């Protein structure tokens, strides 16, 4: 690192950590990936996944590294949420924590990682008490997810590559925590013009089956950038 | 500070700074408060207002302290924008910077502070090159301001206590950088039901004068919390 000038040197330095709010969608439910912390303080208590920032990495690199280490997944949808800097948030010392929220399709998360890190998917309705300010992070993360899902087709990040209309609706219902009118939902969804209907059906949920869809990545990306459109 | 355990101590520490994107509204224009930096590196170059985090203050306290020191104003609308952590963003050493954006009514900003800190209001269209990643901060701040102004009555923070309908429209036009249809704008604005019409007129802009309004703080606050409503 470059030598710092006198003016900088007189100011204190802080540990900087990253905490990841990892949302997943599995069997109709919105879930959160947490684990039991393996060092003091709070060893054995439920915690978000996190880690300390290293000297040679940017915040984004650190968040990607932590997610990759813990899930094996890359190119995950991730967004900075908020930076937590209360003086006494960590009893072991001052740590500034940058919270990120990530969306991963739960079916892509391998059980081997789960074993290695003692990770557990918990339903958001049954979230246990988490250490420090982690419950607040989850609450803010959920609020942000809802806001995004209301204005962008963000929720699709949580679905498998091919999905049925009932699956998308069930995802949105899980995000918003309330049931949506089927006809209205489909009308809005199809009017966004981001879905490609495939010539095959999912036959596992009903005898009639449900057509599978995937999204048109280019149109999808354009909608995300425009930041409007999905007023559910 | 509490003694830290071994696990924490092995991780590096970083300087943490705060940078404030201070928006103001003055004579129909959206402006930004900047100054010429008074220490190296980049001494004499245009910069946002900022400062280092102290050991005994939270991030929010620090942002409020910096704003108060530089403007004399308290209870300013302020929101965390993003945390900047690229390795080489500051050539003098690694500094993690938390960017906040603030909205202040330019008429409340006293010239004595301007002199003391060499502060200048610049029109957003005539923004000079700022040091480091500060131009990026301003761009992101402006984007966030627009998003907020489109969904909440946030812009009112920038107006004096009593204002005319042409003043609000001019504020929104300045934020969005485009002219708005007068009839539509007023219809939407009045439908929000947050304005109280006063029994007096501003006579400075036309012979007929324009009625003065102020907003109903309780209704206004409710709309901000709901986060919807002002689809301009």
Q: Cβ contact (<8 Å) for B2 and A86? A: no
Axis-axis angle for helices B182-191, B165-176 (nearest 10): 110
Q: What's the rounded mean pLDDT across residues A193-208?
A: 88
Architecture of domain B159-225: Orthogonal Bundle (1.10)
Q: What is residue B33's predicted lDDT score, i.e. its pLDDT?
A: 93
State the pLDDT confidence band at B5, using cuts at 50, 70 and 90: low
State the pLDDT confidence band at A226, using cuts at 50, 70 and 90: low
User: For the segment B186-200, what is each residue's pLDDT rounded down to a tens digit?
Assistant: 988 888 888 999 999
A136 vs A118: which has the higher pLDDT? A136
Sequence spans of domains, chain B:
7-147, 159-225
Q: What is residue A232's predicted lDDT score, i.e. its pLDDT?
A: 43
Distance from CA of A151 to the nearest CA of B (A): 11
- CATH topology for the A7-147 domain: Nucleoside Triphosphate Pyrophosphohydrolase (3.90.79)
Which of A8, A63, A81 to substitute to test the interface with B, most B CBs within 10 Å?
Answer: A8
Residues of chain A found within 8 Å of residue B15, distances taken between Cβ atoms? 4, 8, 11-14
Q: How far apart are CA B47 and CA B70, in angstroms?
A: 13
User: For the segment A212-223, what is each residue's pLDDT rounded down to a tens digit?
Assistant: 999 888 887 777
User: For the segment B80-132, what is each residue's pLDDT rounded down to a tens digit?
Assistant: 999 999 999 999 999 999 999 998 877 777 777 777 778 889 999 899 999 99
Choose among A76, A77, A73: nearest CA to A109.
A73
Residue B1 pLDDT exceeds 60? no
Choose among A167, A210, A178: nearest CA to A25.
A167
Residue B119 is given by DSSP the state E
- pTM of the complete model: 0.85
User: For the segment A79-124, what is each residue's pLDDT rounded down to a tens digit?
Assistant: 999 999 999 999 999 999 999 999 887 777 777 777 777 888 999 9
A36 vs A4: which has the higher pLDDT? A36
Q: Cβ contact (<8 Å) for A8 and B55? A: no
Q: How far apart are CA A106 and CA A26, in angstroms?
A: 6
State the pLDDT confidence band at A52, using cuts at 50, 70 and 90: very high
User: For the segment B26-45, what is each residue's pLDDT rounded down to a tens digit?
Assistant: 888 899 999 999 888 999 99
Q: What is residue B227's predicted lDDT score, i.e. its pLDDT?
A: 53
**Is the ipTM, as predicted for this complex, more than 0.90?**
no
On average, the pLDDT of chain A sits at: 86
Of A5, A55, A86, the CB nearest to B12: A55
Residue B69 pLDDT exceeds 90? no
Q: What is residue A64's predicted lDDT score, i.e. its pLDDT?
A: 93
Q: Cβ contact (<8 Å) for B52 and A11? A: yes
State the pLDDT confidence band at A229, using cuts at 50, 70 and 90: very low
CA within 13 Å, CB half, B13: 15
Q: Cβ contact (<8 Å) for B8 and A60? A: no
B3 vs A90: which has the higher pLDDT? A90
Q: How far is CA B180 from the centre of its chain?
A: 22
Looking at chain A, the whole-number percentage of residues with pLDDT higher than 70 is 92
On average, the pLDDT of chain B sits at: 86
Residue B208 pLDDT exceeds 50? yes
**Do A120 and A35 form a contact (C-beta atoms < 8 A)?**
yes
Say if A7-147 and A159-225 have the same CATH topology: no
Choose among B210, B54, B88: nearest CA to A13.
B54
Q: Cβ contact (<8 Å) for A58 and B85? A: yes
Residue A144 pLDDT exceeds 50? yes
Q: Both tokens of residue B15?
A: 């300087």
Backbone angles phi, psi at B200, to 5 degrees: -145, 165
B74 vs A92: which has the higher pLDDT? A92
């Amino acid at each position: 690192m470059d030598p710092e000038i006198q003016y900088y040197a007189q100011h204190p330095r802080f540990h900087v950590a990253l905490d990841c709010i990892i949302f997943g969608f599995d069997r109709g439910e919105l879930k959160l990936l947490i684990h039991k912390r393996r060092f003091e303080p709070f060893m054995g208590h439920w915690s978000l996944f996190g880690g300390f920032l290293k000297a040679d990495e940017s915040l984004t690199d650190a968040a990607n590294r932590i997610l990759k280490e813990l899930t094996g997944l890359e190119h995950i949808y991730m967004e900075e949420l908020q930076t937590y800097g209360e003086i006494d948030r960590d009893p072991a010392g001052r740590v500034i924590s940058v919270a990120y929220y990530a969306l991963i399709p739960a079916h892509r998360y391998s059980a081997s990682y789960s074993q290695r890190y003692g990770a557990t998917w918990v339903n958001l309705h049954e979230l246990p008490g988490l250490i420090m300010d982690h419950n607040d992070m989850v609450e803010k993360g959920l609020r942000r997810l809802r806001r995004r899902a209301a204005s962008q087709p963000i929720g699709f990040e949580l679905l498998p590559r091919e999905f049925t209309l009932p699956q998308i609706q069930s995802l949105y219902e899980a995000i918003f925590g309330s049931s949506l009118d089927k006809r209205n939902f489909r009308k809005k969804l199809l009017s966004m013009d981001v879905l490609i209907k495939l010539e095959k059906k999912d036959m596992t949920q009903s005898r009639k089956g449900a057509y599978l869809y995937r999204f048109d990545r280019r149109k999808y990306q354009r909608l995300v950038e425009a930041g409007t459109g999905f007023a559910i």
